[in-house]
């Protein structure tokens, strides 16, 4: 039997076939989970319908801008009425205004700071609060983060600060939801060539830097993030919560 047989999951963050959310969704699906998807706005609706539709014509696909509480409520009402329960949730969502992802961090505007934190960190709290009442048999929540939360990565700027907030939120959520057997963890991925990543100035150099300096001398593959996502969702990770798991070819251990 596959490790996620019979599990019901909700995926935030598919934009296209390169999205990390899509890699993890495919792994969850392969392991037997039934999934629902959200998309950020009309612009991405067709993409998500085309991808998620490959899991079956009746796959639940709902709009959700995570900065809008009414849209979050509508998603969980719908998931509740279609699924009756929820076991897994993936938060693979981040955004910062482009001008904040280049140049000097000193120039980060109040507005860019607010937007980056609202979309990329607070949203995990908002969707976890909405998911918890549906996770009646316990659950696993997985969020995506990056090493720029703990070390300075040139150009990552305010997104690094938002990822630090996301990782701290993961720990506090793990403590809050632990008594309900709901686990909350982050995957810290090495750089992947996605839509969001292309917004970061000098992203191509990051890929080259990892290849040269990570112990495994290569970048991470989408399937490898999928496999870690499936592990964290499975009973194999039943005693793991509040953690940041590095899937980065070992880059995080290096000092020089």
Ligand X SMILES: NC(=O)c1ccc[n+]([C@@H]2O[C@H](COP(=O)([O-])OP(=O)(O)OC[C@H]3O[C@@H](n4cnc5c(N)ncnc54)[C@H](O)[C@@H]3O)[C@@H](O)[C@H]2O)c1
Residues that bind ligand X (CB under 6 A): 13-15, 19-21, 40, 44, 64-67, 92-95, 119, 144-146, 189, 191-192, 194-197
| Inter-axis angle of helices 123-131 and 157-177, nearest 10 | 20
Which of residues 59 and 67 has its CB atom nearest to ligand X in the complex? 67
Which of residues 8 and 116 has its CB atom nearest to ligand X in the complex? 116
3-state secondary structure of 27: helix
The long-range contacts involving 48-52, CB below 8 angstroms and separated by at least 24 positions, are 48/14, 48/15, 51/14, 51/16, 51/17, 51/22, 52/14, 52/25
Distance CA(256)–CA(144), nearest Å, equals 25
Q: How far is the CB of 238 from ligand X (least distance, A)?
A: 24
Which of residues 95 and 251 has its CB atom nearest to ligand X in the complex? 95
Q: How far is the CB of 19 from ligand X (least distance, A)?
A: 3
Radius of gyration (C-alpha) of the chain in whole angstroms: 17
B/e letters for 230-241, b = 16+ CB within 10 Å, e = fewer, are bbbbbeebeeeb
Active-site amino acid positions: 146, 156
CA distances from 43 to 20, 40, 47, 240 (A): 18, 8, 8, 37
Q: How far is the CB of 70 from ligand X (least distance, A)?
A: 13
3-state secondary structure of 226: helix
Q: How far is the CB of 237 from ligand X (least distance, A)?
A: 19
Q: How far is the CB of 1 from ligand X (least distance, A)?
A: 29
Which of residues 151 and 239 has its CB atom nearest to ligand X in the complex? 151
Residue spans of alpha helices (H) in the chain = 20-30, 42-52, 69-83, 110-117, 123-131, 157-177, 203-213, 222-233
**Residue 245 CB contacts under 8 Å (≥ 6 apart), including other chains:** 185, 186, 187, 188, 228, 232
Which of residues 68 and 109 has its CB atom nearest to ligand X in the complex? 68
Which of residues 69 and 136 has its CB atom nearest to ligand X in the complex? 69
Q: How far is the CB of 65 from ligand X (least distance, A)?
A: 4
């Amino acid at each position: 039997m596959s490790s996620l047989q019979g599990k019901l999951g909700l995926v935030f963050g598919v934009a296209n076939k390169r999205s990390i959310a899509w890699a993890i969704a495919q792994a969850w699906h392969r392991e037997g989970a039934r999934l629902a998807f959200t998309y950020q706005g009309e612009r991405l609706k067709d993409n998500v319908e085309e991808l998620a539709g490959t899991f079956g014509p009746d796959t639940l696909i709902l709009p959700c801008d995570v900065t809008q509480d009414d849209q979050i409520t509508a998603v969980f009402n719908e998931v509740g009425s279609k699924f009756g329960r929820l076991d897994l949730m993936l938060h693979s969502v981040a955004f910062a205004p482009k001008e904040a992802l280049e140049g000097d961090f000193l120039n980060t505007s109040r507005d860019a700071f607010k937007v980056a934190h609202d979309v990329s960190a607070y949203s995990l709290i908002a969707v976890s609060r909405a998911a918890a009442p549906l996770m009646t048999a316990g659950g696993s929540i997985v969020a995506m983060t990056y090493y720029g939360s703990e070390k300075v990565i040139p150009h990552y700027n305010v997104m690094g600060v938002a990822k630090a907030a996301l990782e701290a939120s993961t720990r506090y959520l793990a403590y809050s939801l632990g008594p309900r057997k709901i686990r909350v963890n982050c995957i810290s991925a090495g750089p992947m060539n996605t839509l969001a990543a292309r917004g970061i100035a000098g992203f191509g150099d990051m890929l080259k830097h990892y290849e040269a300096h990570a112990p495994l001398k290569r970048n991470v593959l989408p399937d490898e993030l999928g496999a870690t996502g499936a592990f964290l969702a499975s009973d194999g990770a039943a005693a793991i919560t509040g953690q940041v798991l590095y899937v980065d070819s070992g880059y995080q251990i290096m000092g020089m």
